[in-house]
Amino acid sequence: MKYAPELYAEAFTRALNESAAHVSRDALVARLLAVIEKNGDNARKGKILNAVRRAFIKKRGGREISIETARDQHIDLGRYFKKEDEIETRVNPDLIAGLRITVDGERELDTSLHRKLSRMFQ
């Protein structure tokens, strides 16, 4: 039986809440990995752990922010985000110039030159 990564994440966070008193966090993580293996979902382990990470960020009231820049440079955008947010930055040369910010993988602000050029030649 295959379960969606979101279901694993939901079940794990609930288990963590409900059994925090008598089971350690590390033991629960080990049990999650064992369940994933038992269900034959090892190939999707990455996706499941990502979903768990997302669930944690959501639980603490934060957002998953991805900032892509065309070149490796330091841009301080901290003041635009909350301290609960998890910010990940990476270099994406495909953007040519500018940056792209994605929030929770569902909303994005694209100010890259790549977008401008593709819009211009649409």
Partner 1 sequence: MNYDIIEKLKKEIEGFKDDPRFEEVGSVVEAGDGIAKISGLRKALSQELLLIETHVGEVSAVAFNLEENFIGTVILGDASAVRVGDRVKRSGRVLSIRIGNEVIGRVVSPLGAPLDAKGVLFERIDRAEEYMLERKAPSVVERESVKTPLHTGVKSIDAMIPIGRGQRELIIGDRQTGKTAIAIDTILNQKQEKGKERPICIYVAIGQKDSKIAKIVKVFEEAGALEHTVVVSASASSSASLQYLAPYAGCAIGEYFMDQGRDALVIYDDLSKHADAYRELSLLLRRPPGREAYPGDIFYLHSRLLERAAKLNRENGGGSLTALPIIETKLGDVAAYIPTNVISITDGQIYLESSLFYQGIRPAINVGLSVSRVGSSAQTKAMKKVAGRLRLELAQFRELQAFVQFASDLDEATKKRIDRGALLTEILKQRDREPIFFEQAVVVLYSALNGYIDDIPLEKAKRFEAHLVDYLEKRYRAEILDEIQKTGDLSEHVEARLKEVIGEAKGIFS
At 42, list the tokens: 């090892």
* Length of the chain, in residues: 122
Between residue 30 and residue 49, which ones bind partner 1 under the rule CB under 8 A? 47
Residue 108 in the binding site for partner 1 (CB under 8 A): yes
**Beta carbon nearer to partner 1, 87 or 103:** 103
Kindly tell me which residue out of 45, 58, 63, 115 binds partner 1, with binding defined by CB under 8 A: 115
- Per CB under 8 A, the segment of 11-19, 23-31, 82-90, 109-117 that binds partner 1 is 109-117
Residue 19 in the binding site for partner 1 (CB under 8 A): no
Residue 77 in the binding site for partner 1 (CB under 8 A): no
Kindly tell me which residue out of 41, 85, 86, 110 binds partner 1, with binding defined by CB under 8 A: 110
**In a 10 Å sphere around its CB, with 0-12 CB exposed, 13-18 middle and 19+ buried, how is residue 41 labelled?**
middle
Bridge partners of residue 101, in order along the sequence: 67, 109
At 32, list the tokens: 């999650």
- Per CB under 8 A, the segment of 17-25, 28-36, 81-89, 112-120 that binds partner 1 is 112-120
Cα–Cα dist 44/7, whole Å: 13
Query: Angle between the 5-18 and 25-38 helix axes, to the nearest 10 degrees?
Result: 150
Cα–Cα dist 85/50, whole Å: 15
The footprint of partner 1 (CB under 8 A) covers 4, 6, 47, 102-103, 105-111, 115-116, 119-120
